[in-house]
């Protein structure tokens, strides 16, 4: 029944490691997003994919690489993790580029 | 530049009291406007949205919001708050850049409810 799901829910790792967060939506939407929520709860978009094509890349460090194997999935891979990467990462999807977005439950990443 | 301002970082109300959360936006054209709620440890849930038409929109959980173009505002209201409404509330505006729905969020307002 879950519309937008993310795994894992929690991720604790050491600096310098590489990790991935997975996102899947079963809504049949064409567009998917990654947002970062910092410790002050500020939400900012990182990436947007439409029909597996990168649409928005908000000057995110190239250590972050999104990958969309199909329209239902948008994964986020992070290389060489830094302390400042600690945040909650939200995946979202929308039917089209100009529709309301549905959010996943978030992945809390802690870099030690 | 597009922006969203939520002037109140933290609001406390008594259960049963009325609530108004403020949101002001800066955007050159008619915006799409949203209110999301985030309960502790949870994702974001859409409360309501404004795209066009009637400027008073109804949402889930008894919430409503009014779009006032002259004031660039989209304030969220509820006539009687329940303890379960305690959460973080985010106002957002979009789309931009040729229709791409890049939501711009406000900093959020944390609502506490006294019994």
Closest CA relative to residue A69, chosen from A55, A81, A56, A51: A51
The CA distance from B95 to the nearest CA of chain A, in Å, is 6
Question: What pLDDT does residue A81 have?
Answer: 97
Q: Which two tokens stand for residue B115?
A: 């019994």
Mean pLDDT of chain B: 90
- Per residue in A45-70, pLDDT (tens digit) is 998 888 888 887 787 899 999 999 99
Question: What pLDDT does residue B101 have?
Answer: 65
Q: What is the mean pLDDT of residues B35-62?
A: 91
Q: Give the percent of chain B with pLDDT over 70.
A: 94
pLDDT above 90: residue A98: no
Question: What pLDDT does residue A50 have?
Answer: 85
> Do A102 and A93 form a contact (C-beta atoms < 8 A)?
yes
pLDDT band at A6 (very low <50, low <70, confident <90, very high): very high
Q: How far apart are CA B38 and CA A104, in angstroms?
A: 11
pLDDT band at B95 (very low <50, low <70, confident <90, very high): low
- Per residue in A9-47, pLDDT (tens digit) is 999 999 999 999 999 999 999 999 999 999 888 899 998
Q: How far apart are CA A93 and CA B103, in angstroms?
A: 12
Nearest CB to B102 within list A4, A56, A90: A56
A13 burial via Cβ count (<10 Å: 0-12, 13-18, 19+): middle
| Per-residue exposure over B67-105, b if at least 16 CB sit within 10 Å of its own CB, e if not | beeeeebbbbebeebeeebbbbbbbbbbbbeeebbbbbb
pLDDT above 80: residue A1: no
- Per residue in A64-90, pLDDT (tens digit) is 999 999 999 999 999 999 999 999 999
**B42 at interface of A, judged by CB pairs closer than 8 A:** yes
| Chain B stretch 2-21, residues whose beta carbon is closer than 8 A to a beta carbon of chain A | none
Question: What pLDDT does residue B99 have?
Answer: 52
Mutation pick from B10, B44, B60, B89 vs chain A, by most beta carbons of A within 10 Å, is: B44
Write phi, then psi, for A85 (nearest 5 degrees): -80, -10
Question: What pLDDT does residue A109 have?
Answer: 97
Whether residue A42 and residue B105 make contact (CB cut-off 8 A), yes or no, is yes
Mutation pick from A92, A97, A104 vs chain B, by most beta carbons of B within 10 Å, is: A97
pLDDT band at B103 (very low <50, low <70, confident <90, very high): confident
């Amino acid at each position: 029944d879950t519309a937008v799901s993310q795994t894992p829910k929690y991720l604790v790792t050491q600096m310098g490691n590489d990790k991935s967060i997975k996102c899947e939506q079963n809504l049949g939407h064409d567009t998917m997003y990654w947002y970062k929520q910092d410790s002050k709860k500020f939400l900012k978009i990182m990436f947007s994919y439409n029909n597996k094509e990168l649409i928005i890349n908000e000057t995110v460090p190239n250590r972050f690489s999104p990958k969309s194997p199909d329209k239902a999935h948008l994964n986020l891979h992070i290389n060489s993790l830094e302390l400042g990467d600690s945040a909650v990462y939200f995946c979202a999807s929308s039917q089209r580029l100009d529709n309301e977005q549905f959010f996943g439950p978030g992945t809390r990443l802690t870099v030690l | 530049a597009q922006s969203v301002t939520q002037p109140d970082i933290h609001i406390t109300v008594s259960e049963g009291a009325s609530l108004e959360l403020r949101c002001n936006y800066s955007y050159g054209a008619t915006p799409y406007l949203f209110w999301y709620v985030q309960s502790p440890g949870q994702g974001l849930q859409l409360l309501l949205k404004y795209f066009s038409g009637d400027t008073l929109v109804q949402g889930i959980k008894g919430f409503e919001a009014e779009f006032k173009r002259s004031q660039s505002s989209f304030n969220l209201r509820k006539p009687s708050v329940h303890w379960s409404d305690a959460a973080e509330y985010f106002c957002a505006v979009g789309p931009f850049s040729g229709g791409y729905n890049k939501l711009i969020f406000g900093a959020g307002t944390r609502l506490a409810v006294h019994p």
